[in-house]
């Protein structure tokens, strides 16, 4: 049995000064029947906790570490940036270079505004969509999480679903009432929504591949229907690619599925593991953002030098070695095939995003089907995987990720740990 004495000591002290002892709810490990693990360091595809226990890591800081922990080029870039000053409250050349790099990868993003988190990005994109259309209603999808924005916590997935709490305490009913939450992958519900409210809908916001009820891909034609309906009714289509951007392809999910959204939100990988976010779209639309236009949004730490430097280094590596995505695809397929053979699960995967749903016999296409998973069985499996030296998201409703640093030996180790966790 692993020893977690130091993690437990740190957690007990944290409880006195931090709500729940954690700074983000899913870190509490409540749904898997454990006290939180406290991490000390990472290298490549591996993590070590405060007690010195080693794990193969499939959380990867919830997705941004596509190159693995502490990649030397990323560390060097961030370190050099910090040595020149941590923040200026003024523009830097790197911000322009990152904006150019984002546009090069995602042509739909002609102009982009950097912010400090994915939540800031989605909040700002919503404000812009409402200003541009003069409308108030927002369409989102059950089980999709777009940060803790008031209007977008209605029927959110991720930590809200993990903890089994309502998504709207503290949010005025008149704010929640401006959000229409639809079942993901239900074409009839989407059509009916536009038939009823089309002239009042400002935007549709969607994770093109959902990661926050577990990994759930769109059914064939669903994203195109979304694109067609929004265009027909004068609403904007927002792709929340905070998780999928540069993860599923260098051009994100919009390249993978051949759909051009009006606005895109980004985060995670474009900061190389440091706090960053972005939103962008057509130049005409983005020119409504201050100081060019009247839609106000600001942030002292937006475009932080260290975060932008880490992002530039990460994207630079991905661009010069596009075969990384082929290697990720092959290794993720091998991992998921092995896990499906070892466990009583349904596996959803798109590229290097995946989830093992503890149920069999039906496709997982939306929140209703994802919610039928056996979370008790997941908890037992999770604790067994921790004992076996594998760190996965501590929630049935979160996607896991592979990095370029994972090896075939890591995959084999993980599948073997799953067999032991299943009692073989």
DSSP codes joined into one string, 265-319: EEEGGGGTTSS-EEEEE-HHHHTTBTTTSSB----TTTT-HHHHHHHHHHHHHHH
Three-class DSSP category at 321: coil
Cα–Cα distance between 383 and 402 in angstroms, integer?
A: 20
Active-site annotation holds for 145: yes
Q: Which of 11, 55, 58, 145 is catalytic?
A: 145
Active-site annotation holds for 80: no
Active-site annotation holds for 368: no
Three-class DSSP category at 373: coil
Going by C-beta distance under 8 Å and a sequence separation of 6 or more, which residues neighbour residue 349? 215, 332, 333, 336, 355
Q: Which of 49, 268, 279, 410 is catalytic?
A: 268
The DSSP bridge pattern shows strands 179-182 and 111-115 to be unpaired
Greatest pairwise CA separation for the chain in angstroms? 63
Cα–Cα distance between 189 and 185 in angstroms, integer?
A: 9
| Burial of 148 (C-beta count, 10 Å sphere; 0-12/13-18/19+) | buried
Q: Which of 240, 381, 382, 397 is catalytic?
A: 240
Cα–Cα distance between 189 and 175 in angstroms, integer?
A: 22
DSSP codes joined into one string, 90-127: S--HHHHHHHHHHHHH-TT-SEEEEESSHHHHHHHHHH
Positions marked active-site: 145, 240, 268
């Amino acid at each position: 049995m692993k020893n977690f004495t130091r993690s437990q000591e740190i957690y007990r002290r944290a409880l006195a000064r931090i709500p729940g002892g954690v700074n983000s709810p899913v870190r509490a490990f409540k749904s898997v029947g454990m006290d939180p693990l406290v991490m000390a360091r990472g290298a490549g595809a591996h993590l070590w906790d405060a007690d010195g226990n080693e794990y193969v890591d499939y959380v990867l800081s919830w997705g941004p570490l596509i190159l693995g922990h502490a990649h030397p080029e990323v560390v060097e870039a961030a370190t050099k940036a910090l040595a020149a000053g941590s923040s200026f409250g003024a523009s830097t050349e790197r911000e322009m270079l990152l904006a150019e790099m984002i546009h090069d990868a995602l042509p739909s993003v002609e102009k982009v505004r950097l912010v400090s988190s994915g939540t800031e990005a989605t909040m700002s994109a919503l404000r812009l969509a409402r200003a541009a259309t003069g409308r108030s209603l927002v369409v989102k999808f059950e089980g999709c999480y777009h940060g803790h924005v008031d209007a977008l916590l209605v029927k959110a997935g991720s930590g809200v679903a993990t903890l089994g709490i309502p998504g709207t305490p503290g949010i005025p009913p008149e704010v929640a009432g401006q959000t229409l939450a639809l079942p993901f992958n239900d074409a009839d519900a989407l059509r009916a929504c536009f038939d009823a409210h089309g002239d009042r809908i400002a935007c549709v916001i969607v994770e093109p591949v959902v990661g926050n009820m577990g990994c759930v891909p769109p059914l064939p034609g669903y994203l195109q229907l979304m694109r067609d309906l929004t265009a027909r009714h004068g609403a904007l289509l927002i792709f929340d690619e905070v998780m999928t951007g540069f993860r599923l392809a260098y051009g994100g999910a919009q390249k993978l599925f051949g759909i051009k959204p009006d606005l895109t939100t980004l985060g995670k990988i474009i900061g190389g593991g440091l706090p960053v976010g972005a939103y962008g779209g057509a130049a005409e639309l983005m020119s409504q953002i201050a100081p060019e236009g009247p839609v106000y949004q600001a942030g002292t730490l937006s475009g932080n030098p260290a975060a932008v430097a880490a992002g530039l280094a990460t994207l630079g590596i991905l661009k010069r070695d596009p075969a990384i995505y082929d290697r990720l695809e092959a290794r993720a397929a091998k991992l998921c095939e092995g896990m499906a053979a070892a466990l009583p699960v349904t596996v959803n995967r798109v590229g290097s995003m995946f989830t093992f749903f503890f149920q069999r016999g039906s496709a997982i296409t939306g929140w209703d089907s994802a919610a039928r998973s056996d979370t008790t069985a997941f908890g037992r499996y999770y604790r067994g995987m921790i004992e076996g030296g594998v760190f996965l998201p501590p929630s049935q409703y979160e996607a896991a990720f592979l990095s370029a640093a994972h090896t075939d030996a890591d995959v084999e180790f993980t599948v073997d740990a799953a067999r032991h966790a299943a009692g073989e």
